[in-house]
Chain A
Amino acid sequence: MRLRLVPDETHIDFFKYRYATFGVSVVAMIASLILWLTVGLNFGIDFRGGTTLRTESSVAVDVGAYRDAMQPLNLGDVSISEVFDPSFGPDKHVAMIRVQAQDGQESVATDTVNRIEAALQQVDSTIRFTSVESVGPKVSGELIQTAFIAVGVSLAAILFYIWLRFEWQFSVGAVAALFHDVLLTVGIFSLLQIRFDLATIAALLTIIGYSINDTVVIFDRLRENLRKYKTMPLQDVMNLSVNETLSRTLMTSGTTLMALIALLVLGGDVIRGFVFAITWGVVVGTYSSVYVAKNIVLWLGVKRDWTKPDANKGNQFANIDA
């Protein structure tokens, strides 16, 4: 007996609630945008400069004591948070400390780090610094720029490729879906205040890659069916295509999600943010392929006449054989 995520044949009408689903997507996008602009992203030092220290100690972390110890150093904005992970043993206590970029410093000063380390050692003699990272404001500005360029270039490349391989309506639909995925990911990062750094940008691009993969598979089937069922209404052809590929869509999302969830739970806290972004993106991306990309193509309409002009008909020369 085979495992079937969906029955062999499905006839789900994916457009039945299209206003509702599309509406939800639009509302979610607007909400993400508002969250992004009001609450804002919790940028890591990659994007705003500064220093992060990861501490490890055999004694429980006392955030208040850490803060008091660092108070006299006058470092400006300091954030201290304890890190929890199921893989930590009972005598392993980890904290992340982030210090803003110091005023008037383009580059990174070693003595700042040394002073912080010394101050914390006063509080807890067993403390160790398992990672210390500093990024100067000069570089972080460039990194933001590069990140935006990367996302922009990716979207443009995909727009162009899909247009080349399919029709322009498809490429608009696909890119709208990708935009939706990226925005929703940025939204959830704003909402949950997960650290947004370079790895998150990589995750965003991976989401774009995964989501486009999913969209293209459906589009490919749609293109095939459009040629096969020339008179069927567009909406029905779309429904048919999605139904035919539904089993594959869920299988692939299923295996990918399974792998990602393993990583999310067991992969350690260092990459949790990164993996979370991708996991979220796979869910949103699967949804957007079915509900966003297709709706836009339906709304834009698509060329239905795929036949090549008949060489023997309607040209200016008389057909001698006839």
Chain B
Amino acid sequence: MLQIDLWKRILIWLVVAAGLLLALPNAFYSRVEGHNDAIASGVEDSTWPSYLPTGLVNLGLDLRGGAHLLAEVRVADVYESRMKGMWPEIRNRLRDAREQVGTIRLVEGKPDELRVRIGDADGMARAVQLVRDLARPVTTLTGAGASDIEVRAEGDILVVTLSEAERAATDDRTVRQSLEIIRRRIDEVGTREPTIQRQGADRILIQVPGIGSASELKQIIGTTAQLTFQPVVSRTASADASAGPGQEVLPSLDEEGVFYILEDTPVVTGEELVDAQPSFDQNGRPAVTFRFNPTGARKFGDYTAANIGNPFAIVLDDEVISAPVIQSHIAGGSGIITGNFSVEESTNLAVLLRAGALPAGLDFLEERTIGPELGADSIAAGKLACIVAFAGVLIFMVASYGLFGIFANLALLANVGLIFGLLSMIGATLTLPGIAGIVLTIGMAVDANVLVFERIREELKTARGPARAIELGYDRALSAIVDANITTFMIAVILFALGSGPVRGFSVTLGIGIVTSVFTAIWVTRLLIVMWFERRRPKTIEV
């Protein structure tokens, strides 16, 4: 009767201790935050002991203040430039077969298609065939076997459009590129913990705490970033390496402690890059192909011809993305970057290469600015409400259940600690409704204990002895506790799946609160009661 294995006891205490330890930094919020910022910027900082956890609950925009934007990427913008970019290739191809297809002329059409009038209608079949040969397989991570363009004949007009699969792949790429560019640009501003997420097929959610207003944020996203291709002088491990006149030292993007000394003057800039796509080299390894516009192509061709075997650097925002070695003379303005890439890495690099300018325009569907003082007011109000709610519940429980109420209260304290510990651990965001969720959890967390205590009271009337009553109380209340909490948990999951922003923050605290309150009510109070019972061995108990 009333036995809990030693390992279970230890486990329970460990969980509670771990939860409280993880929650601890939140009690010293600004100190830990300052410490984390110092560490992130590479400064030694001893204001917070290094053996303690440093995870904090992120404060949502409604608590900290900042700007929120929901942008829709005009994915169709890209179709037009893709089609335009394809024209020279198609023109050259058809011109070579002039005897069969006659004269060729570009005619007006919808922006996302290419219409070519063929002089000799009899050669249409041949023309369609020729253009079709230009089609490339769609490059996606899922690797669908479709080709990127569709070619059909309408009378004497040859119509080229992007295929459905290619459009889908292009849309996806466009949104990813936009996301990447936006992320880079916001990182450049150096604000703390921005959230930049893709939402749905073509939307991007941007949340930046601490920024003055949404229009300020829109300006940052609107500026162009600089992409350059520069000759590499040498590679070094120090940022202070001495660079000669007309040279500069730039850090590597993904390798820490690696710096490059580069020629100041770029060979080509991002403005002259037309396209970069993930692809495969002749050995079937993932690679990235890129293409310049004619002027860029000429400059790049001349430079590569003169510098075979030398590395050149691809630089974005003063960071070296990569520094491949020139393997051969790259004429015709397109080239391939090989390396030790996985498919994902080559896809990313292609994204990065194109990250110079936003690939498509953005429409802002939603924008919210919350001033920091409003957030501070909300935090203060939330804190006060939490304390009052907490005190009220504690007093109420002791008044109702005496000693057992104290056990429940200890469990409740552990519960709030665990909620904050878990929130810090998963890096969840606390929003204003989230605070309400915690207050609600404080109110509801005692429910499981109330169920058990009420049951013990009932069992005391019939059962033989207090130990049996306690045990039966826990056993018989369990099904009600489980059913009641599973249904509430389902709601939290639905809220999480369908909600966004503050609502989602609420669902996270609600869900975590359910898990921790069941744990503390079933295990922690039980353990406290059992330990008390073992010491005292009371003949009668009053609940």
**Which residues of A are at the interface with B, using a C-beta cutoff of 8 A?**
2-5, 8, 54, 56, 87, 106-108, 110, 113-114, 128-136, 138-139, 146, 149-150, 153-154, 157-158, 161-162, 165, 198-199, 201-202, 205-206, 208-210, 212-214, 216-217, 219-221, 224, 244-245, 247-248, 251-252, 254-260, 262-263, 265-268, 270-271, 274-275, 278
Can you list 10 pairs linking A and B with CB atoms under 8 Å apart? A150-B498, A153-B494, A154-B490, A198-B503, A206-B506, A251-B446, A254-B396, A258-B392, A259-B440, A274-B436
- Complex formed: what's the CA distance from A106 to B71 in Å? 12
Inter-subunit contact A202/B433 (CB<8 Å):
yes
Inter-subunit contact B439/A208 (CB<8 Å):
no
Inter-subunit contact A271/B367 (CB<8 Å):
no
Q: Which of A108, A212, A263 has the most CB of B within 10 A?
A: A263
- For B455, the closest partner residue in chain A by CB is A248
Nearest-neighbour CB distance to chain B for A168, whole angstroms, equals 16
Whether B444 is near chain A, meaning CB under 8 Å from some CB there, is yes
Inter-subunit contact B498/A153 (CB<8 Å):
yes
B residues less than 8 Å from A199 (CB atoms) = 433, 502-503, 506
Inter-subunit contact B443/A255 (CB<8 Å):
yes
Nearest-neighbour CB distance to chain B for A181, whole angstroms, equals 13
Whether B269 is near chain A, meaning CB under 8 Å from some CB there, is no
Q: Give which listed residue, B218, B380, B484, B492, contacts A213 with CB less than 8 A.
A: B484
Nearest-neighbour CB distance to chain B for A186, whole angstroms, equals 17
B residues less than 8 Å from A56 (CB atoms) = 373-374
Number of B residues whose C-beta is below 8 Å from A? Answer: 77
A residues less than 8 Å from B384 (CB atoms) = 266-267
Inter-subunit contact B432/A271 (CB<8 Å):
yes
Nearest-neighbour CB distance to chain B for A80, whole angstroms, equals 18
Whether B370 is near chain A, meaning CB under 8 Å from some CB there, is yes
Inter-subunit contact B436/A278 (CB<8 Å):
yes
- Complex formed: what's the CA distance from A150 to B506 in Å? 14
Nearest-neighbour CB distance to chain A for B199, whole angstroms, equals 10
Inter-subunit contact A260/B439 (CB<8 Å):
yes
Inter-subunit contact B365/A260 (CB<8 Å):
no
B residues less than 8 Å from A132 (CB atoms) = 213-214, 367-369
Whether B451 is near chain A, meaning CB under 8 Å from some CB there, is yes
B residues less than 8 Å from A219 (CB atoms) = 483
- For A128, the closest partner residue in chain B by CB is B371
Of B37-45, B124-132, B142-150, B398-406, the segment with at least 4 beta carbons within 8 Å of chain A is B398-406
- For A135, the closest partner residue in chain B by CB is B366
A residues less than 8 Å from B510 (CB atoms) = 206, 209
B residues less than 8 Å from A271 (CB atoms) = 378, 432-433, 435-436
Inter-subunit contact A158/B440 (CB<8 Å):
no
Whether B180 is near chain A, meaning CB under 8 Å from some CB there, is no
- Complex formed: what's the CA distance from A237 to B131 in Å? 81
In the A-B complex, the 6 residue pairs with the closest CB atoms: A256-B443, A268-B381, A259-B443, A259-B389, A209-B491, A130-B371
User: In residues 391-436 of chain B, which contact A (Cβ within 8 Å)?
Assistant: 392-393, 396-397, 399-402, 432-433, 435-436
With A2-B400, A165-B483, A262-B392 in contact, is A134–B368 under 8 Å at CB?
Answer: yes
Nearest-neighbour CB distance to chain A for B491, whole angstroms, equals 4
User: In residues 186-213 of chain B, which contact A (Cβ within 8 Å)?
Assistant: 213
Whether B281 is near chain A, meaning CB under 8 Å from some CB there, is no
Inter-subunit contact A108/B215 (CB<8 Å):
no
Inter-subunit contact A150/B490 (CB<8 Å):
no
With A107-B72, A267-B436 in contact, is A129–B366 under 8 Å at CB?
Answer: no
- Complex formed: what's the CA distance from A248 to B481 in Å? 12
Nearest-neighbour CB distance to chain B for A118, whole angstroms, equals 13
A residues less than 8 Å from B215 (CB atoms) = 110, 113-114
